[in-house]
Structure 1
Amino acid sequence: MIDRLEEGLISLLLGLMTALTFANVVARYVFNSNILWALELTVFMFGWLVLLGASYAVKKGMHLGVDAIVQNLMPGPRKVLGLISVACCIAFSFLLLKGAWDYWANFANLPKTEGRWFPLGFEDKFRDQGWYEVDDIPMPGALRWMEDVFNEGEEYEKIPRLLPYLILPLSMALLLLRFCQAAWGIWTGRITQLVASHEVEDDEIEAAANVADGTKG
């Protein structure tokens, strides 16, 4: 379910970004008009795309890395180094998740976590920031229920910031999940290392093939 959610959101964002950008170009050059909120919404969608793509790339083994030493080791030491590297990634993504929650939480009228490095609980007193809005994107009628929940019944002119910023804790949670899955894969021997992308080698192979084809021609 998580795999389909991740891939579905990425596909949807790509399609919406393309459609919205095309519609704004048509409005500008054909009708001499402009979709005022198109740029801001496209920027938000691009941010969602990048942050979701980070966890998706971990899942597909598409992140780049240097493995010249690791590839020359025996399976045992290679596995140890793989577990060390993925443990560092898990720790880092955990810190990112904590920071992402602490940044987003007050926009959703929720408490931040206490503790600088490790969450020691939630704050007892915090300032609600659910009234913060974005700059241009208008508030759709279907989301008016959020005014009672997050803005004490006051009307939103633009959508609240908690909506576009939701991607921060969501994407960091997915990133942490993907690194945990990679750790399990290395531990069980299903995969041998965290990074499996070799774009340089692929380019060299493709270039060599092109040279060979040119020589034959």
Structure 2
Amino acid sequence: MKWFDRLEEWVIGVLLAAMTALTFVQVVLRYVFNTGLTWAQELTSVFFAFMIFAGLGYGVRVGAHIGVDAVVRLLGRGPRRAVSIVAVLLCLGYCALVLVGSSEYVLKMRDIGVELEDLPIERWQVLIVLPLGFAWLAWRFVQVLWGLWSGRLDSLHLADESAEALKLRAQEENRA
């Protein structure tokens, strides 16, 4: 799955670069040439939506999501692992709910056949990012659950903002 991890990172990077380039072109066209692309903002929003949903799974993989886990960190390895398993199961339940609901929504939008406002693309073709993104997020949670179940992980790794803030402060003090 390493190749898929790299593909995930590559997709996020390409979408960010495309958004930046498109926005730059739009600004230049508008303020230098007094014109613009009528569809640029909508396409940028589409890129942003796809980047967000690609980033959800990426955040789980690298432990970038924040959480309230101060009490959990005080627990021993066994209880911390058990609490993490319950948390991951709850996250999987949430993913399942959103996956089912968004799939139904996308199918209804496909039946209606409404297009985007500025692009000749049917809305469902963009909204498909909802079930795909949550399916990918669920897959990442299944990977975490397997790591917890097999003992490779002892907790659901979340971003530790307080540790990062203390580290940044120490770096600033060392520079002073």
Both structures adopt the same fold (TM-score exceeding 0.5): yes
Gap change, CA 1:2 and 1:105, over 3 Å in 2: farther
Listed as ranges, the matches of 1:158-173 within 5 Å are 158-173=120-135
Flag the structure with higher helix content: 2
**CA deviation after TM superposition for structure 1 residue 38, in Å:** 0.3
Gap change, CA 1:20 and 1:70, over 3 Å in 2: same
Aligned residues: 174
**Structure 1 CA distance, aligned partners of 2:171 and 2:24?**
38
**Structure 1 CA distance, aligned partners of 2:7 and 2:170?**
39
Flag the structure with higher strand content: 1
Find the counterpart in structure 2 of residue 26 from structure 1: 28
**Structure 1 CA distance, aligned partners of 2:20 and 2:175?**
37
In terms of Rg, which structure is larger? 1
**CA deviation after TM superposition for structure 1 residue 212, in Å:** 4.1
Report the residue type matching 2:60 in the other structure: V
Seq. identity, %: 39
Aligned equivalent of 1:135, options 108, 117, 127: 117
**Structure 1 CA distance, aligned partners of 2:124 and 2:137?**
20
CA offsets per residue over residues 141-162 of structure 1, 9 Å max, x none?
xxxxxxxxxxxxxxxxx21112
Listed as ranges, the matches of 1:1-217 within 5 Å are 1-108=3-110, 128-129=111-112, 131-137=113-119, 158-214=120-176
Q: What's the TM-score once normalised by structure 2's chain length?
A: 0.91
Gap change, CA 1:77 and 1:175, over 3 Å in 2: same
Contact preservation (8 Å) 2:78, 2:154: no
Secondary structure of 2:118's aligned partner: strand
In the TM superposition, structure 1's runs of 4+ consecutive aligned residues that sit over 6 Å from their partners are: none
Secondary structure of 1:195's aligned partner: coil
Secondary structure of 1:159's aligned partner: coil
Contact preservation (8 Å) 2:114, 2:122: yes
Q: What's the TM-score once normalised by structure 1's chain length?
A: 0.75
**Structure 2 CA distance, aligned partners of 1:5 and 1:207?**
34
